Amino acid sequence: MKRLLLHTQLIKDVGRDLVRFRGLLFWTALAVVSAFVIVYQAYLYRDLMAEREVYFSERDALDVEWRHLIVEQNSLSEHSRINRLARQQLGLQRPNELQEVLVPWR
C-alpha cells in the first residue's frame, strides 16, 4: 500500500510540474516540431534537386539530338539544292535505262 502511495505522489508532482512549466513545455515541443519540419523540408529540397538534374540531363540530350537534326537537314538541303541547280542551270538529267552503260569489272 505504501508503494502505491509513492507512485501516486510522484504522478501528482509530475502533473504539478507540467502545469507549472507549461510555457517551457510548449516552447520545447514547438522547437522539436520545427526541427522535424526543417529536416523534412531539406529532404524535399534534395529530392527536387535530384529531379531537376534528371530534367537538365534530359534537356541536354534533346539539345544534342536537335543539333544533329539541324546538321542532317542542312546536308540534305545542300544535296537537293545541288540537284536543282544541275537541272535548272546546266540542263542535266538522270539517264534512263537505255542510256545507261555497264562497264565490265575485268
User: What's this model's pTM, rounded to 2 decimal places?
Assistant: 0.51
39 vs 49: CA distance, rounded Å: 15
Q: Specify the higher pLDDT residue, 102 or 64.
A: 64
Rounded to 10 degrees, the C-alpha dihedral 85/89/91/96 comes to 0
- Decide: residue 85, CB within 10 A, 0-12 exposed, 13-18 middle, 19+ buried: exposed
Domain assignment of residue 76, yes or no: yes
Task: Evaluate if residue 3 carries a pLDDT over 70.
Answer: no
Q: Which of 20-34, 37-51, 80-94 has the lowest mean pLDDT?
A: 80-94
91: left (phi over 0), alpha (psi -120 to 50) or beta: left
Whether residue 2 is predicted with pLDDT greater than 70 in this model: the reply is no
User: Residue 94 is placed in which grid cell?
Assistant: 538522270
Residue range of the domain that includes 59: 17-88
Number of domains in the chain: 1
Does residue 3 sit within a domain?
Answer: no
Residue 28 inside a domain? The answer is yes
CA distances to 18, 20, 67, 74 from 61, rounded to whole Å, are 61, 64, 10, 20
pLDDT band for position 63 (cuts 50, 70, 90)? very high
- Asked if pLDDT for residue 73 goes beyond 60, the answer is yes
Does pLDDT of 76 surpass 90? no
